Amino acid sequence: MSKRIVPLLAAACLAVIAGGAEAVDVRAGVLRVDYPALLPISRYDLRPDDLAFAGAVLADEDNATTGRFMGHSFETTTLAVPPEGATEALAGLLDDGVRYIVVDAMGEELAALSDQAAEAGALVFNARAADVDLRSESCRANLLHIAPSYAMQAEAVAQFAVWKQWKRWLLVSGSNPADRALAEAYRHAARKFGAQIVEEREFEDTGGSRRTDSGHVLVQRQLPTFMQRTEPHDVVIAADATDYFAAYLPYHLWTPRPVMGSAGLRPVTMHGAHEAWGATQFQTRFEKLARRHVQEEDYNTWLALRVLGEAVTRTGSADPAEIEDYVLSDAFELAAFKGQKVTFRPWNGQLRQPILLYDGRITVSVSPQEGFLHQVSPLDTLGLDRPESSCTAFD
Amino acid sequence: MIRPLLTATLCLAASGAFAGKAFVSNERGNTITVLDTETWEVLEEFPGGNRPRGITLSPDGTLLYVCASDDDTVRVFDTASYEELYTLPSGPDPELFVIHPSGNPLYTANEDDNLVTVTDTETHSILAEVPVGVEPEGMAISPDTKWVVNTSETTNMAHFISTEDYEIKHNVLVDQRPRYAEYTADGTRLYVSAEIGGTVSVIDIAEDGTPSLRQKIGFDVPGVLPEWLQPVGIKTTQDGSRVFVALGPANRVAVIDGESLEVIDYIMVGQRVWQMAFTPDEKFLVTTNGNSNDVTVIDVEKEEAIKSVQVGQQPWGVAITPN
């Protein structure tokens, strides 16, 4: 009895009221740079082969479903390359005529790839790099940031700590450049929201504290001594962007205190247990497709391509300059399972979005927190506000 | 919370009087709460399947239809005995549906599968599956029954499906995350809420059913962040003079003048208000408040909340028996 009626191609009887009904073909690429890395502290953090790509497949499906009614088609190519292969891979995409590139890479490669894409007039979406300078002095006019910056992450945590009245922070950071950049974001966040860093410690990356067969035995002895004789503090803030020690902190402190930041309560764009604001539907669709839980880079990539899809739906255009203008304008808004619309900061191309505070199982809270007000949007209390960014590329 | 022992007495009471009943689906509690619409007392709470959301009644009020979303089925209950009679095939993850005024068929939005499923309520078979946008939710049927409207939350469209051949004939882009669609009784207008866009789109309907977007209504409540003004459920009075819009986490129902399309008032209700239903005489409007686990009863003429009643966990939808 079941009869599936597909109005696809029945263009003649499809009257589309809003937006253009002309056929538009949108081709995008997802370029993921895979870095040589040691095993993560936890097996749960192993990077799946289809990381980010699964988000792209879901976004393509979502965009195609909408596009069917508009006469728009979406096709996304995914590529995983080592850092030294990134330039060539991007050149290939650009040669093929792809003008929308989602880049899942760290800051250095992202900056270079953005410049390479700019020469071809292509628009780049950042799905991973959190470097603050890319949203400030090193920003690029063709680079939109879906991934939150270290500043947004740190300030999401800071607001929650301040809301809790946990204002005395012990900042423990790693010794790698990324760890130090993240620590700097926490220092800035403390100043911005009136918390006090009572003491700082740097846990040096000697290469020996990563997971081994008996790693926990060593850690159980090392960490408490490292955390002895501190100033009185309410909370330990961990800045370990390179993931080599923070995961061990929560139960190996000397003074029992909650840990936030790179362990304990972590700021994320999405996690597999988030279900508020209709996110359950996103999770079930993603899981059906990927047969695993969603990770941040999947969500960020999905969101990048949804931004593109939404802009194409509303403008009826596939021209990168027109799309970018629209995305950065006040007219652009997008639902992203975060309880409020996400939009872009026109001064540095950063996506405004709520940040989930995640304990590894549930959404504990969502920043911005109640009471942190802003004249434009509470979301601008997270990260570089207009006066805080020295980006001029978008002027 | 489930009191099956009381069922016997309540059946007697129910059959002895013409008091109306309001049925509330409790999404998290997996139950249906039954309220007496005169006393507003809770009569019963019975199991409603897994994740009950959309809820509606047969035109004669004898059958209760519940979208048991996680069971991928529509459960059908006797409104007097509360016994489950049978299930209807609904397609996967049914969220919200609308019933033909004749009682047949049932048009269901399948949230996970981007489909609207048309189910024959007599033969219990699927008549058609219509591919729509991503995350279909809102469902409405035009008073002349020629059109079924579905809203898709991620595609941000209202799809106009012809009930004759089940083909989509019109699509109207609205704002982000459209949750609900409601025709006026005369069929000349359709209201569509956009939860994340924070607006209600007012769509004029021509005589042949062709829609054209007239305007969008925004909301503004002093002291409430604009981000919290999230329109979901919509109900219009028979005469079209008033439009009530549930504003989600703003914990308010907006009252719109159906003529001027201006918001004239906001009524405080419980927390995270989503769906609503009128009593048949339109004296009362019942709202489901998902975060305070209660319903608010609004006096429609006075435009005031008069009562709140605790129901089950995370009330989602409400349906009220006809006269």
pLDDT in tens, A57-99: 999 999 999 999 999 999 999 999 999 999 999 999 999 999 9
Q: Answer for the pair B286, B297: CB distance below 8 angstroms, yes or no.
A: yes
- Rounded to the nearest angstrom, the minimum Cα separation between B215 and chain A is 13
Residue B249's identity, in one-letter code, is: P
Residues of B in contact with A333 (CB under 8 A): 175-176, 196-197
- Chain A residues whose CB is inside 8 A of the B177 CB are 278, 335
What pLDDT is stored for residue B289 in this prediction? Answer: 98
Q: What is the CATH number of the domain that holds A341?
A: 3.40.50.2300
**Minimum distance, in Å, between the CA of residue A68 and any CA atom of chain B:** 9
Shared domain for A31 and A94, answered yes or no, is: yes
Residues A340, B166: C-beta atoms closer than 8 Å? no
Residues A74 and A194 in one domain: no
Residue A379 lies in a domain: no
Mutate to test the interface with A, among B108, B117, B196, B202 (most CBs of A within 10 A): B196
**Nearby residues of A392 by Cβ (< 8 Å), 6 or more positions away:** A139
pLDDT of A206 reads 80
CB A335 within 8 A of CB B153: yes
A159 and A250 in a single domain? The answer is: yes
Give B119 to chain A, closest Cα distance, Å.
10
Number of Cβ atoms within 10 Å of the Cβ of B136: 31
A231 within a domain of the structure (yes/no): yes
A260/A302 same-domain check: no
Question: What residues are paired with B21 via a beta bridge?
Answer: B36
**Same-domain pairing of A205 and A99:** no
Note the pLDDT of residue A128.
98
Q: How many structural domains are present in chain A?
A: 2
Specify if A8 maps to a domain.
Answer: no
Is A15 touching B (CB cutoff 8 A)?
A: yes
- Which parts of chain A sit beneath pLDDT 70? 1-21, 208-218
In residues, how long is chain A? 395
**Residue A292 lies in domain:** 20-148+270-353
Any B CB within 8 A of A69 CB: yes
Inspect the interface and report whether the beta carbons of B176 and A333 lie closer than 8 Å: yes
Q: In what order do the strands lie in the sheet with B168-173?
A: A15-16, B168-173, B157-162, B147-152, B136-141
Nearest residue in chain A measured CA to CA from B91: A2
How many distinct helices (H) and strands (E) make up chain B? 1, 28
For residue B209, what are its two tokens? Answer: 């059913």
A34 with A108, same domain?
Answer: yes
Identify the pLDDT of residue A164.
97
Q: Which residues of B touch A306 (CB under 8 A)?
A: 154
Whether residue A313 is contained in a domain is answered as yes
Q: Which residue of B has its CA nearest to A287?
A: B112
Query: Based on the domain organization, do A240 and A110 belong to the same domain?
Result: no
Are A104 and A168 within one domain?
Answer: no
Whether A125 and A210 share a structural domain: no
**Encoded tokens for A14:** 């499809």
CA distance A342 to chain B (A): 9
Residue A13, chain B, CB below 8 Å: the answer is: yes
Please state the ipTM of this predicted complex. Answer: 0.83
| 8 Å CB contact of A278 and B177 | yes
Hey, are the CB atoms on A7 and B168 less than 8 Å from each other? yes
Residue A320 lies in a domain: yes
The region that residue B37 occupies, defined by phi over 0 for left and psi between -120 and 50 for alpha, beta otherwise, is alpha
pLDDT the model gives residue A208: 59
How many CB atoms are closer than 10 A to CB A318? 19
Within chain B, which residues score under 70 in pLDDT?
A: 1-18
Binding-face residues of B in 111-170 toward A, CB within 8 A: 111-112, 114, 125-131, 133-135, 152-157, 159, 165-170
Where would I find the H helices in chain B? 7-16
pLDDT at A214: 57
Handedness of CA B40, B45, B51, B52 (dihedral sign): negative
Nearest-10 crossing angle of helices A150-163, A177-193: 40
**Same-domain check for residues A50 and A144:** yes
Note whether A234 and A318 are same-domain residues: no
Distance between CA atoms of residues B224 and B228, nearest Å: 7
- Listed residues A239, A268, A297: the one ending a domain: A268
Subunit contact A1:B127, Cβ cutoff 8 A = yes
Contact A3 B177 (CB under 8 A): no
Cα distances from A261 to residues A214, A258, A356, in angstroms, run: 26, 10, 12
Rg of chain A on CA atoms, in Å: 22
Rounded to the nearest angstrom, the minimum Cα separation between A393 and chain B is 29
Q: Is A208 on the interface with B (CB under 8 A)?
A: no
Query: Is the previous residue joined to A368 through a cis bond, with omega within 30 degrees of 0?
Result: yes
Is residue A312 in some structural domain? Answer: yes
| B residues 19-38 lying closer than 8 A (beta carbon) to A | none
The angle, 0 to 180 degrees and rounded to 10, between the axes of the packed helices A296-315 and A53-70 is: 20
Domain boundary among A243, A268, A293: A268
Residues of B in contact with A10 (CB under 8 A): 167
Q: Is residue A15 part of a domain?
A: no
Boundary (domain end) residue, out of A268, A290, A309: A268
What distance in Å separates residue A58's CA from the closest CA in chain B?
A: 11
* Same domain assignment for residues A236 and A296: no
Residue A344 lies in a domain: yes
